[in-house]
Chain A
Amino acid sequence: MKDSLTLAGKEINNRLFIGTGKFPSKEILKKVLAQAQSEVVTVALRRIDLESKEDNILDFIPKNCQILTNTSGARTAKEAIRIARLAKACGCGDWIKLEVISDNKYLLPDNLETIEATKVLASEGFKIFAYMSPDLSVAKKLIQVKATAIMPLGSPIGSKRGVKTKELVKILIKEIDAPIIVDAGIGYPSEAAECMELGCSAVLVNTAIATAKDPVEMAVSFDLAVKAGRLACRNVNQETSEFAKASSPLTGFLRDE
């Protein structure tokens, strides 16, 4: 049964997005993408060397993959905006994974600068996938300024600690009318499955695949887990109430008059 995801008008059939930064070689990355049949791949503009004949990472990514250029290295909205424009000028397209990080210790995103950059870039026609610390009001503002998707972190980048922000992500899924894609922190396929089961539209994984003993096998296992989680999501009765139910109601004394 077809269950595709539409992002910025494009149909995506594989909900496992793969980050490319930490692989042992570009050849292995190529095999991973082929085996996992990923359709959306993030690449940092800082790593793209268009002039290199043998070393241009884009040559190792299948042509049917959608490139999501990330703004890694940007510390402010201003820098992120410049990197995004440069990416477009280099021919990397207008899908941007907006990453504004002014903290190298934990690599946590700066939500305020991210809103600022989204506002400018989305108005210029960029499709913004905003990496953020999960926060409902920030997510709402990002959507107001026309972000394409919200990418809350599960736990800090590379930490492989799992989806520690689960409760906040669940709220985003429920309240935000745009794709929620968990990015960062997913260490195991079971965690990817859990994200999908909760109702995420997709997940993005890099470290867990790139640093596995066999990245190709690990990518396949993530692919299966994402598919399993997605199927489950479509078939379980989701709701356990998110709202508090007081055991001694304060309005129990009211009578119909």
Chain B
Amino acid sequence: MNENLSFYSLYSKYKNLDFSTYFKKVNDDEIINSFNKRSLNPDNLLALLSVKAENYIETMAQKAKDLSLQHFGRAILLYTPLYLSNYCINECLYCGFNSKVKFKRKKLSLEEVEKEATFIAKTGLQHILILTGESEQITPLSYIKECIQLLKKYFTSISIEIFPLKTNEYKELVALGVDGLTIYQEVYDEKIYSQVHLKGPKKDYAHRLDTAQRAGDAKMRTINIGALLGLGDWRKEAFFMLLHAKYLQDLYPEIEISVSLPRLRPQVKNFKAISKVSDKNIVQIITAARIFLPRLGITLSTRENSSLRDNLLPLGITKISAGSTTAVGGHINSKEKDVQFEIADQRDVATIRRMLLAKGYQPVLKDWVGV
């Protein structure tokens, strides 16, 4: 990676900005001007994320819908997560896999991976996202590679959401057939980041921040970033996440960049969201994202309930998960209770497909061919 080039320098430019004072100054003209422009700058994005912009939420939604139709049409890609292991050496206060949480840890054997894969493949899904906690000892890269080799028999597209790797390791995975990386910064606010990540390699803010770029240098085909909404002030977090997305789009025009907007779900007792994020807030983030970056992918997971997910679809969602579980081995054994977080939309793939068609969207199960 080019050491001189990092999103951190752009983050630093804005990190001391007094967001609440800035937002108070935003006036109606600036908001209207922002959603009418063809090419938006960071100030325009701030205007769209301001408190006052909530008065324009319907106009923003209409604009976002038009832009989404224009750029993505009426097709939505489906995928499902496959958890390989929940062993983790990190202590992240908000996560069910926190190393301090006592429960019987599990790692899938290759036979078990194959069973899960067979089950998922039967639903027709061709895109899969594999996940692990961070434990180089128990789930080393060699184990993940074995799983990938096996999963290639069942799926067209394999994305990973695992611990951050080095550029050459990403290159190895790309060569093996991995085409997507999901990596959430979780929280862009550095102070909060250090407060919620107590121990483990994940504590290194800058290393995590540059992960997307290391994968980009390794020529990963798609990169999905995200902020765990609720950990910090969501307006600020959404701003940095979208600025990060733009930074990556500009740096790697050949890579498809997308974002996720996960809201904190109950998974750990005694951990409460620092900031509340309402449904209206989610709508504002999605519409601002679409208007700011018209070709950005937006992924919506089953953390959100079915009725909200259905309503958010036309605003700019390009990819949704279906038939999800956040438990290791959870596709085969749906009673598995040791989950990373609780999911709110329990619908299976067939139900999601029917819902999409009824709403005028084509469920896309395959949108890649390994070359």
Cβ contact of A47, chosen from B70, B71, B124, B366, cutoff 8 A: B366
Closest to A206 in B: B73
Complex contacts, B295 vs chain A, CB 8 Å: 104-105, 107
Residues of A near B367 (CB, < 8 A) are 46-47
A240: CB under 8 A from chain B? no
Judged by a CB distance under 8 angstroms, whether A83 is at the interface is yes
Given the complex of chains A and B, what is the CA–CA distance between A79 and B369 in angstroms? Answer: 10
**Within 8 Å of chain B (Cβ to Cβ): is A58?**
no
Structural contact, B366 and A49, CB atoms closer than 8 A = yes
Chain A contact patch, size range: 20 to 34
Look across to chain A and name the residue whose beta carbon is closest to the beta carbon of B69.
A211
Select B126's contact among A25, A49, A160, beta carbons within 8 Å.
A49
Q: How far is the CB of A217 from chain B (nearest CB, A)?
A: 15
**With a CB–CB cut-off of 8 A, which chain A residues contact B364?**
47
Contacts of A25 in B (CB 8 A): 357, 360, 362
A62 within 8 A of partner (CB): no
User: How many residues from B make CB contacts under 8 Å with A?
Assistant: 30
Partner of A104, one of B75, B249, B366, B369: B249
Given contacts A22-B74, A160-B70, A211-B73, contact A104 B254 (CB under 8 A): yes
**Interface status of A93 (Cβ within 8 A of chain B):** no
Residue of A nearest to B360 (CB): A24
CB distance from A218 to the nearest CB of B (A): 13
Per-residue B-contact encoding for A38-61, CB less than 8 Å = 1, 0 else:
000000011111001011000000
Q: Chain A, 51-84, contact with B by CB distance < 8 Å: what is the 0/1 string?
A: 0101100000000000000000111000100110
Closest Cβ–Cβ distance, residue B257 to chain A (whole Å): 7
* CB-defined contacts of A79 to chain B, threshold 8 Å: 371
A160 cross-chain contacts in B, Cβ below 8 A? 70
Q: Is B365's CB within 8 Å of the partner chain A?
A: yes
Q: Is the CB of B256 within 8 A of A45?
A: no
Interface: B368 (CB within 8 A)? yes
Taken together as a complex, chains A and B put the C-alpha atoms of A144 and B221 apart, in Å, by: 32
**Alpha-carbon separation in the docked complex, A190 to B237 (Å):** 45
* B165 is an interface residue with CB less than 8 A from chain A: no
Q: Which residues of B contact A21 (CB under 8 A)?
A: 73, 75
Complex Cα–Cα for A207 and B366 (A): 19
Would you call the interface of chain A mostly helix, strand, loop, or mixed?
Answer: loop
Task: Classify the interface of chain B: helix, strand, loop or mixed.
Answer: loop
State A210–B72 Cα separation when bound (angstroms): 10
List residues 29-87 of chain B with CB under 8 A from any CB of chain A.
Answer: 69-75
Is the pair B71, A102 in contact by a Cβ cutoff of 8 Å?
no
Contacts of A104 in B (CB 8 A): 249, 253-257, 295
Which single residue of chain A is at the shortest CB-CB distance from B66?
A211
Residues of A within 8 A of B221 (CB): 73
Specify which chain B residues have a CB less than 8 angstroms from the CB of A22 in the assembled complex.
72-75
| B residues 257-316 in Cβ contact with A at 8 Å | 257, 295
B25 to chain A, nearest CB (A): 31
User: Do B254 and A83 have beta carbons less than 8 Å apart?
Assistant: no
Return the CB mask of A199-212 against B: 1 if under 8 Å, else 0. 00000001100110
Q: Are B369 and A73 neighbours in the complex by a CB distance under 8 Å?
A: yes
B371 and A74 form a contact (CB under 8 A):
yes
Distance (whole angstroms) from the CB of B17 to the closest CB of chain A: 26
CB neighbours (8 Å) of A210 from chain B are 73-74
Q: Known contacts being A23-B74, A24-B74, A207-B70, is A105 close to B253, with CB within 8 Å?
A: yes
> In the assembled complex, which residues on chain A have CB atoms less than 8 Å from the CB atom of B74?
22-24, 210-211
Instruction: Report how far A213 CA is from B71 CA in the complex, Å.
Output: 16
B205: chain A residues at CB < 8 Å are none
Which residues of chain B are within 8 angstroms of A24 by Cβ–Cβ distance?
74, 357, 360-362
A219 to B74, CA, bound (A): 16
Of B253, B255, B256, B257, most A-chain CB atoms within 10 Å = B253
A26 interface residue, CB < 8 Å from B?
yes
**Given known A-B contacts A23-B74, A207-B73, A52 and B124 have beta carbons under 8 A apart:** yes
Task: Give complex CA distance A144, B254 in Å.
Answer: 28
Q: Are A75's CB and B254's CB within 8 A?
A: yes
In the bound complex, CA of A160 to CA of B74 (Å): 15
CB of A124 within 8 Å of the partner chain = no
- Taking each of A47, A48, A86, A102, which has the highest tally of chain B beta carbons within 10 Å of its own beta carbon? A47
Cross-chain contact of B369 among A75, A83, A158 (Cβ < 8 A): A83
CB-based nearest A residue for B121: A51
Q: In whole angstroms, what is the CA distance A207 to B254 when docked?
A: 22
A102 touches B254 (CB 8 A): yes
Bound-complex Cα distance A91 to B233 (A): 53
A159 within 8 A of partner (CB): yes
In the assembled complex, 12 residue pairs joining A and B whose CB atoms fall closer than 8 Å, in A order, are A23-B73, A45-B369, A46-B369, A47-B367, A49-B156, A55-B365, A75-B254, A82-B371, A102-B253, A104-B256, A105-B295, A210-B73
For the A-B complex with A22-B72, A24-B362 known, give 14 more contacts whose Cβ atoms are closer than 8 Å.
Answer: A21-B75, A24-B360, A24-B361, A45-B369, A46-B368, A46-B369, A52-B124, A55-B366, A75-B254, A158-B72, A206-B73, A207-B70, A211-B70, A211-B74
Closest 8 CB pairs of A and B: A22-B73, A24-B74, A82-B371, A102-B254, A103-B253, A49-B366, A24-B360, A211-B69
- Using a CB–CB cutoff of 8 Å, the interface residues on chain B facing chain A are 69-75, 124, 126, 156, 221, 249-250, 253-257, 295, 357, 360-362, 364-369, 371
Binding site for B on A (CB under 8 A): 21-26, 45-49, 52, 54-55, 73-75, 79, 82-83, 86, 102-105, 107, 158-160, 206-207, 210-211
